[in-house]
């Protein structure tokens, strides 16, 4: 532990000192210690007495007024305004808020800068609605068209909103169990006490209770998933109901949690209030609540409402959930699917798809808190070359700065930062430096003095600049809700302001929950104030999102709009995928954290955040060598691939564990570089469609019930299945290979039958990975120092034939760094093998007015798995003969497995061509 770190701990208030040790449950509030959660959980089914009145069409929406059947004379309710809007692609939006014309004490916060403008513009303007009396209802329900085959229904009394198929089968519903509650803002009466206390902290709560809660039901669902971020299984376990042990709800509240525990509903660094359901009978649906206040979500086990007396449609099974939030409004979205990829597309049509990263960012990142000085950086860089291990990014943590003042360099440790970066750039490598949201309160620090003068800091409840403790000591926090302040922050990344930075330097935003060491639950007080009188409680979960947004937009501005940014963020919210990568935070060097990293990354992908990963090796502690090797072998398949460690951990660069282990880690990293063409193609798919790079098995095999709970294996795209090894000294592992087609071992080409579980021997050299029959995988087999040095290298295509002797795959290529791909400057090819012919087809731009992206790269090998064998092939249209021989499937290891290979067909990737096997 460094001297400065020890000094900081001595300076901090005593109550914080326990938190720097491993995670302790009593440092954070439970539901029972959180009044809005405790109140909501006490509601009984049927508690809601709201009735919808005055249903009509206004501005293209179905609108209504919600009023209780009977008013409470002590707390009379004002009308709530409801609006249902329908959007292209099968998305229903439901908004409920207080009536602003009735002069509430303040305007309730609506989360800005998350929903895409394109989504707002694709609203279908409703012209009419039909009516239908459901069951014994006294009032007719109102029905509007949602999309082909689906309708949205507003039930007036009892109040309910649901989506159904035209056949009448329900898909999703809100308030079917009558748990809706909306605490309206009011003026405090004499004698009322709205204060809340926790561990010596007082929340004044000047506007009193303002929580919202409601139930959401997913029909014909077998499991629900999503609502990250936490270290638990992908399929969400029930938190209430018969047979459920005492459990907390799933908490969505961005928190800095050291060494978080696995298999817990407790929330950590990020919050995405999006839940997705899946079942064999109906398929997939989704629900999203755009709300940035603290949220708690219960998954209700079967029979939870057995004594309620409420009768729901008995022909359909369902999973009920209960959503509770401290503040905000109801701004919810229903996604009808019906396929898993449909739901993800629908969700990302609202919040955005993954930003297309630069090529280098998809490769390996080497990090540590902290590389000590320029000599240390140079030594690490040279050792990668000495041991022939590729890497693309070297990361500097907080101690590269001058006294933890961001945008500065320690002049003794890093006296020549530009030269240091240029040396890395000469090898095609990049540097990433950390820039956190806490600004050191130092009168000699220009960033602080300017922010103070301009009034850019978040205020405390008394209206003064908020002063909290973080790594620099006394710190203040910029008000990132303001576009003006975000733009000012973005200007700090210019080469003029960030002295010592170069075009090859990019950014890591840490601690942006925001983390405040002496704050309640190690975060900013909820009654802190942002511009416009918005309380921090209302936007807490979106603060880190705004911070990453401002940083990313600053980097774009730095490059005159020509350079794609790279910004890594710890805090996250819905939409974070538009601004960079995220990672799972301060994990631990143990087997459980290796295991749980898979469902964590899968959950992030399902909720739009494809560019994610976990720190390889575990941030805290010292991994045993076998664990570290296994983590590299798994981490090579994370979309974001980084090795990182705490400064108290022993150095763990790949060459420090003996020659054999260096070989194993080198091989794992090289696998990633070999697969970069495939990963980059998948990033483009995520960029255009929102479909994640890492996928649960059920996303590719939605009717296979065996896959629904499987989260120790995963798909990389549609072609690769990967199974991690999560136990020490494992000799065998069970691998379920779904589907009716065969699978080919990624290393050996051995064919395995689909639809069954295989018990396989475990090798120290790799983890099990398989290519699905019917796919074509693009590779680059000449691994160099960095991805940028591989740009002009030739490609290999691995064709895995299915039972019909057919296969398909794609390859996407652009310049790897600019935004010119948005103008059609790229290559996109589809490869189709059928009838003993492999054909390359253009699926990229064909508009002659677009700037054509050129490349002289060729395909130097075509490997065909599952073919009976042949001796030659003809390349058309030039009628050129190519010999077929037996060659190695991989060059990476000493194993020489012979497979059918067309060697040096030398086919340009830009051209249309056909190879016919004779």
β partners of residue 568? 508, 581
Same domain, 326 and 453: no
The model's pLDDT over 327-371, given as tens digits with 9 standing for 90+, comes to: 999 999 999 999 999 999 999 999 999 999 999 999 999 999 999
Number of domains within the chain: 2
State the pLDDT confidence band at 315, using cuts at 50, 70 and 90. Answer: confident
| Residues 46 and 308: beta-carbon distance below 8 Å | yes
Q: Which residues, 6 or more positions from 702, have their beta carbon under 8 angstroms from its beta carbon?
A: 278, 283, 284, 339, 340
Q: Is residue 744 part of a domain?
A: no
Same domain, 442 and 332: no
Same domain, 264 and 137: yes
Same domain, 107 and 255: yes
Domain's final residue, options 573, 594, 628: 573
Q: Is residue 693 part of a domain?
A: no
| Residues 525 and 538: beta-carbon distance below 8 Å | no
What confidence score (pLDDT) does residue 73 get?
74
As a whole number of Å, the CA-based R_g of the chain is 28
- The domain spanning residue 55 has which CATH number? 2.60.40.1760
Q: Is 560 a catalytic residue?
A: no
State the pLDDT confidence band at 15, using cuts at 50, 70 and 90. Answer: very low
Same domain, 299 and 183: yes
What confidence score (pLDDT) does residue 618 get?
98
Same domain, 320 and 463: no
Range in 158-162, 193-197, 308-312, 555-559 the model is least confident about: 308-312
The model's pLDDT over 661-686, given as tens digits with 9 standing for 90+, comes to: 999 999 999 999 999 999 999 999 99
Catalytic-labelled residue, pool 181, 399, 510, 626: 510
Q: Is residue 176 part of a domain?
A: yes
| Residues 527 and 204: beta-carbon distance below 8 Å | yes
What would the two tokens of residue 487 be?
């733009």
Same domain, 102 and 210: yes
Catalytic-labelled residue, pool 586, 711, 781, 814: 586
**Distance in angstroms (rounded) separating the CA atoms of residues 57 and 129:** 8
State the pLDDT confidence band at 16, using cuts at 50, 70 and 90. Answer: very low
**Distance in angstroms (rounded) separating the CA atoms of residues 638 and 614:** 8
- The parent domain of residue 232 ranges over 37-337
What confidence score (pLDDT) does residue 869 get?
80
- The dihedral built from the CA positions of residue 770, 776, 780 and 781, taken in this order, carries a sign that is positive
Same domain, 153 and 297: yes
Phi/psi of residue 41, nearest 5 degrees: -65, -20
Domain's final residue, options 573, 594, 627: 573
| Residues 329 and 95: beta-carbon distance below 8 Å | yes
- The dihedral built from the CA positions of residue 387, 390, 393 and 397, taken in this order, carries a sign that is negative
Same domain, 465 and 316: no
Q: Is residue 675 part of a domain?
A: no
Domain's final residue, options 322, 337, 352: 337
Same domain, 181 and 314: yes
Catalytic-labelled residue, pool 298, 326, 392, 513: 513
Q: Is 513 a catalytic residue?
A: yes
Q: Is residue 809 part of a domain?
A: no
Same domain, 180 and 310: yes
Half-sphere exposure of 209 (CA within 13 A, CB side): 18
The model's pLDDT over 842-854, given as tens digits with 9 standing for 90+, comes to: 998 876 555 678 9
805 has a pLDDT exceeding 80: yes
Q: Is residue 652 part of a domain?
A: no
Q: Is 586 a catalytic residue?
A: yes
Same domain, 446 and 333: no
C-alpha 298: how far from its chain's center?
21
Q: Is residue 638 part of a domain?
A: no
Q: Is residue 522 part of a domain?
A: yes
The model's pLDDT over 376-431, given as tens digits with 9 standing for 90+, comes to: 999 999 999 999 999 999 999 999 999 999 999 999 999 999 999 999 999 999 99
Q: Which residues, 6 or more positions from 527, have their beta carbon under 8 angstroms from its beta carbon?
A: 203, 204, 205, 206, 461, 535, 536, 537
């Amino acid at each position: 532990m460094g001297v400065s770190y020890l000094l900081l701990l001595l300076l901090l208030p005593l109550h914080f000192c326990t938190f720097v040790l491993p995670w302790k449950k009593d440092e954070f509030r439970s539901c029972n210690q959180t009044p809005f959660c405790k109140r909501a959980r006490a509601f009984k089914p049927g508690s809601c007495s709201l009735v919808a009145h005055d249903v009509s069409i206004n501005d293209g929406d179905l609108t209504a007024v919600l009023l209780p059947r009977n008013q409470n004379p002590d707390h009379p309710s004002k009308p709530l305004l409801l609006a249902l809007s329908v959007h292209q692609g099968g998305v229903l939006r439901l908004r409920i808020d207080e009536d602003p014309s009735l002069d509430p004490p303040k305007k309730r916060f609506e989360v800005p800068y998350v929903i895409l403008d394109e989504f707002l513009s694709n609203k279908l303007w409703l012209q009419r609605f039909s009516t239908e009396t459901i069951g014994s209802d006294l009032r007719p329900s109102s029905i509007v068209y949602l999309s082909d085959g689906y309708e949205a229904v507003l039930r007036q009394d009892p109040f309910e909103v649901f989506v159904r198929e035209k056949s009448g089968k329900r898909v999703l519903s809100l308030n079917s169990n009558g748990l809706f509650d909306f605490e309206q803002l009011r003026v405090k009466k004499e004698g009322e006490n709205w204060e809340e206390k926790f561990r010596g902290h007082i929340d004044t709560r000047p506007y009193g209770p303002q929580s919202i809660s409601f139930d959401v039901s997913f029909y014909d669902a077998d499991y629900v998933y999503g609502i990250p971020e936490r270290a638990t299984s992908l399929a969400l376990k029930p938190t209430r109901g018969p047979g459920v042990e005492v459990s907390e709800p799933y908490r969505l509240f961005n928190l800095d949690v050291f060494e978080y525990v696995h298999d817990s509903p407790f929330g950590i660094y990020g919050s995405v209030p999006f839940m997705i359901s899946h079942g064999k009978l109906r398929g997939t649906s989704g629900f999203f609540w755009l709300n940035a206040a603290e949220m708690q979500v219960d998954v209700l086990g079967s029979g939870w409402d057995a004594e309620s007396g409420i009768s729901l449609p008995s022909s359909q099974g369902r999973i009920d959930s209960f959503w509770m939030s401290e503040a905000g409004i109801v701004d919810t979205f229903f996604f009808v699917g019906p396929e898993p990829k449909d739901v993800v597309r629908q969700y990302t049509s609202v919040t955005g798809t993954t930003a297309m990263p630069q090529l280098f960012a998809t490769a390996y990142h080497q990090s540590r808190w902290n590389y000590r000085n320029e000599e240390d950086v140079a030594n690490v860089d040279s050792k990668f070359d000495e041991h022939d291990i590729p890497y693309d990014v070297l990361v500097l943590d907080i101690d590269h700065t001058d006294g933890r003042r961001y945008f500065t360099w320690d002049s003794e440790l890093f006296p020549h930062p530009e030269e240091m970066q240029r040396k890395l750039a000469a090898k095609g490598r990049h540097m990433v430096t950390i820039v956190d949201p806490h600004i050191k309160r130092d009168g000699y620090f220009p960033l602080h003095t300017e922010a103070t003068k301009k009034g850019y800091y978040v205020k405390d409840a008394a209206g003064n600049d908020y002063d909290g403790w973080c790594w620099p000591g006394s710190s203040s926090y910029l008000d990132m809700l303001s576009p003006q302040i975000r733009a000012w922050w973005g200007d700090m990344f210019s080469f003029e302001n960030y002295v010592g930075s170069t075009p090859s330097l990019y950014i890591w935003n840490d601690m942006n929950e925001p983390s405040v060491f002496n704050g309640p639950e190690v975060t900013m007080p909820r009654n802190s104030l942002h511009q416009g009188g918005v309380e921090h409680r209302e936007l807490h979960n979106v603060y880190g999102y705004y911070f990453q947004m401002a940083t990313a937009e600053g980097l774009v501005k730095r490059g005159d709009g020509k350079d794609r940014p790279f910004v890594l963020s710890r805090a996250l919210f819905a939409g974070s995928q538009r601004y960079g990568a995220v990672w799972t935070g301060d994990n631990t060097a143990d087997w459980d954290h290796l295991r749980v990293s898979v469902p964590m990354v899968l959950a992030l992908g399902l909720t739009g955040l494809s560019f994610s990963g976990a720190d390889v090796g575990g941030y805290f502690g010292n991994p045993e060598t076998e664990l570290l090797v296994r983590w590299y072998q798994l981490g090579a398949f994370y979309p974001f691939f980084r090795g990182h460690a705490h400064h108290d951990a022993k150095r763990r660069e790949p060459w420090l564990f003996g020659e054999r282990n260096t070989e194993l880690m080198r091989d794992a990293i090289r696998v990633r570089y070999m697969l970069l063409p495939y990963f980059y193609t998948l990033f483009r798919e995520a960029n255009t469609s929102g479909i994640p790079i890492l996928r649960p098995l059920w996303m590719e095999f939605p009717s296979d019930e065996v896959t629904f709970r499987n989260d120790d294996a995963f798909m990389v795209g549609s072609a690769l299945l990967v199974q991690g090894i999560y136990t020490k000294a494992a000799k065998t592992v069970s691998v379920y290979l779904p589907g009716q087609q065969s699978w080919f071992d990624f290393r050996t080409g051995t064919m395995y039958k689909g639809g069954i579980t295989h018990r396989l021997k475990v090798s120290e050299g790799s983890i099990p990975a398989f290519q699905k029959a019917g796919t074509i995988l693009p590779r680059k087999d000449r691994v160099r120092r960095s991805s940028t040095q591989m740009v002009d290298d030739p490609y290999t295509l691995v064709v895995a034939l299915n039972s019909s002797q057919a296969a398909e795959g794609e390859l996407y290529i652009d310049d790897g760094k600019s935004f010119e791909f948005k103008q059609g400057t790229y290559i996109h090819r589809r490869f189709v093998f059928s009838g003993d012919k492999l054909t390359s087809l253009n699926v990229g731009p064909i508009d002659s007015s677009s700037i054509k992206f050129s490349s002289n790269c060729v395909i130097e090998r075509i490997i065909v798995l599952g073919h009976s064998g042949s001796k030659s092939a003809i390349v058309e249209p030039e009628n050129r003969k190519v010999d077929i021989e037996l060659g190695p499937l991989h060059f990476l290891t000493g194993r020489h497995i012979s497979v059918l290979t067309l060697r040096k067909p030398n086919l340009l990737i830009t051209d249309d061509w056909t190879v016919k096997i004779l």
